[in-house]
């Protein structure tokens, strides 16, 4: 959840600087995202939306790829 918040904060900062385009913050939703992702098995598929960076991070996607 800490990595999710840190990534979210960084992306929001980059968006406000004009260095990235569209970004919608997910602050406050970390526990729901990470908790649900941890309940999945490695064979379960995920289809995260734009506010679900925590799901991708919990499933092992690196911050650089996210």
The pLDDT assigned to 44 comes to 94
The C-alpha atoms of residue 61 and residue 28 are separated, in whole angstroms, by 20
Grade residue 34 by pLDDT with cuts at 50, 70 and 90: very high
Which has more pLDDT, 48 or 10?
10
Asked if pLDDT for residue 14 goes beyond 90, the answer is yes
Q: What is the mean pLDDT of residues 37-61?
A: 90
Q: What is the mean pLDDT of residues 6-10?
A: 93
Specify whether the CB–CB gap between 27 and 5 falls below 8 A.
yes
């Amino acid at each position: 959840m800490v990595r999710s918040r840190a990534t979210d904060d960084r992306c929001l900062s980059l968006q406000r600087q004009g260095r990235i385009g569209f970004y919608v913050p997910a602050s406050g939703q970390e526990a729901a995202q990470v908790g649900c992702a941890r309940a999945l098995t490695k064979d379960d598929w995920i289809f995260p939306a734009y506010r679900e960076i925590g799901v991708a991070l919990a499933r092992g996607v690196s911050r650089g790829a996210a």
